[in-house]
Amino acid sequence: MQPLRTQNIGLSLIKEMELRGSKIPGVVSLAQGIPSFETNEHIKKAVIESLSLHNIGKYSLSPGLLELREMVEEVLRKDGISYDHNNEIIVTAGSIEGLAATLLAILEKGDEVIIPNPSYAAYAEAVRVAHGVPIFIDLHKNDNWALSIDALEKAKSAKTKAVIICQPNNPTSHIYPESTIRELAEWAKNNNYFLIFDEVYKDFNYTAKPIFHLAKDSKYRGNAVYLRSFSKAFSMTGWRVGYILACKELAREILKVHDSLVTCAPVISQYAAMAALRYQDELINDIMIQYRKRRKITLAHFNKLGDYFECTAPDSGYFFFPKILFKNSGSKKTAIEILEKAKVNIVPGIAFGPAGEGYLRFCFGRSEEDLNEAFTRLKNYFHNSL
């Protein structure tokens, strides 16, 4: 076969670790960000009902079922965000499809997309798939992974087209404060760059402060795309459903690509999404009680591993991202060694960009049983091997 351009694109290190782990019997995985929870019974019930009430077998319109887009518009309005279901909301096959459609719409070959890192491992690959060039800038590891506009300013070039911001950030769990987001938005607007916000962890907040959503401020509509998902807060990763918010002019372009990628989001998942929105206050409240508990359990475990990891309790999401304190030969080798010797699967920090080197990511979205078993193994491993 002739060489293909994708030969320079890797499968994300997260997937690589999961694949490695799947070949070793008895591994406990805290690697990929998959909640252990099953899809809620309310949602399952609504799905079963929809099978008899609606023709699930039929495509929806490309932007999604009208009823779902109307619900999204209404839910947004309660948060002070105004996007029109007719022209500014597109239901996607998960937020990753929303990202792919956005990048394919906005990028010319060779255009640069700035990715503050560490951040979600798949961004760089998504940019490369869309013929773009990812440009990493480092978040401030000594300042709770804050973002500085200076770093963005230094990274920009004539080829810069967009910035991808994970708010709250995965894997650092950092929630960018309103001041940072506003500064970023002004900078992007002045430079005429697109800002792509990945908000899949927007419902996870363990702090006292609310998460700021730029979407409330109509001043930045023309430059911003918001990617949202039902996967995380509703434990619906397998359903592949999320949505995009963008101004009419931009949404029209993204819609063409979305149509070309998947025609429409899976219809049954759109009905599941409607049920999720219908019960969202109850569902999110219930699940956050569970996540707070798991976060506390995991923190207690890390406190006992204080000689090996430096870590703070996460502000959002379901990941711990501790710094490695022991002697090591890089995060990837360390993660592989832990996988092979302790049979615990975790993700090396380097997966999230160069600034993630020296760190490891642990998903605490897994069951309490798995969390406890994983840390028992880790304690044995560290106490015996190091």
**Interface residues for its own copies in 126-185 (CB under 8 A)?**
126, 129, 131
**264 touches its own copies by CB under 8 A:** yes
Instruction: Find the binding residues for its own copies in span 25-44 (CB under 8 A).
Output: 32, 34-35, 37-39, 44
Give the one residue of 183, 217, 253, 357 binding its own copies; rule: CB under 8 A. 253
Backbone angles phi, psi at 260, to 5 degrees: -75, -25
Measuring CA to CA, which residue among 361, 354, 372 is closest to residue 323? 361
Q: How far apart are CA 250 and CA 257, in angstroms?
A: 11
State which residue, 162 or 324, has the beta carbon closest to its own copies. Answer: 162
Sheet holding 224-229, edge to edge: 89-92, 242-246, 224-229, 194-198, 160-166, 112-117, 133-138
Q: Minimum distance between the CB of residue 50 and its own copies, rounded to whole angstroms? A: 10
Q: How far apart are CA 28 and CA 257, in angstroms?
A: 38
**279 touches its own copies by CB under 8 A:** no
Cα within 13 Å of Cα(87), Cβ side: 5
**1 touches its own copies by CB under 8 A:** yes
Cβ atoms < 10 Å from Cβ of 184? 24
Backbone angles phi, psi at 146, to 5 degrees: -75, 160
One character per residue 60-79, x = contact with its own copies (rule: CB under 8 A) = xxx-----------------
Give the one residue of 81, 115, 122, 347 binding its own copies; rule: CB under 8 A. 122
State which residue, 61 or 313, has the beta carbon closest to its own copies. Answer: 61
Count, residues in the chain: 386
Instruction: Find the binding residues for its own copies in span 318-337 (CB under 8 A).
Output: none
Q: Minimum distance between the CB of residue 379 and its own copies, rounded to whole angstroms? A: 28
Residue 296 contacts residue 280 (beta carbons within 8 Å): no
Give the one residue of 74, 79, 84, 108 binding its own copies; rule: CB under 8 A. 108
**100 touches its own copies by CB under 8 A:** yes
**23 touches its own copies by CB under 8 A:** no
**284 touches its own copies by CB under 8 A:** no
Residue 65 contacts residue 91 (beta carbons within 8 Å): yes
User: In 3-state terms, what secondary structure has residue 309?
Assistant: strand
Cα within 13 Å of Cα(277), Cβ side: 22
Considering only the stretches 89-97, 137-145, 195-203, 323-331, report the one whose residues sit in contact with its own copies under the rule CB under 8 A.
89-97
Q: How far apart are CA 245 and CA 89, in angstroms?
A: 5
Q: Minimum distance between the CB of residue 252 and its own copies, rounded to whole angstroms? A: 9
**259 touches its own copies by CB under 8 A:** yes
Give the one residue of 20, 42, 56, 82 binding its own copies; rule: CB under 8 A. 56
**261 touches its own copies by CB under 8 A:** yes
Helices (H) and strands (E) in the chain, counts: 12, 14
Strand partners, 113: 134, 162
Considering only the stretches 75-83, 103-111, 167-175, 376-384, report the one whose residues sit in contact with its own copies under the rule CB under 8 A.
103-111
Q: Minimum distance between the CB of residue 346 and its own copies, rounded to whole angstroms? A: 18
**219 touches its own copies by CB under 8 A:** no
Q: Minimum distance between the CB of residue 224 and its own copies, rounded to whole angstroms? A: 11
Q: Map tokens 């252990």 to a residue.
A: 36
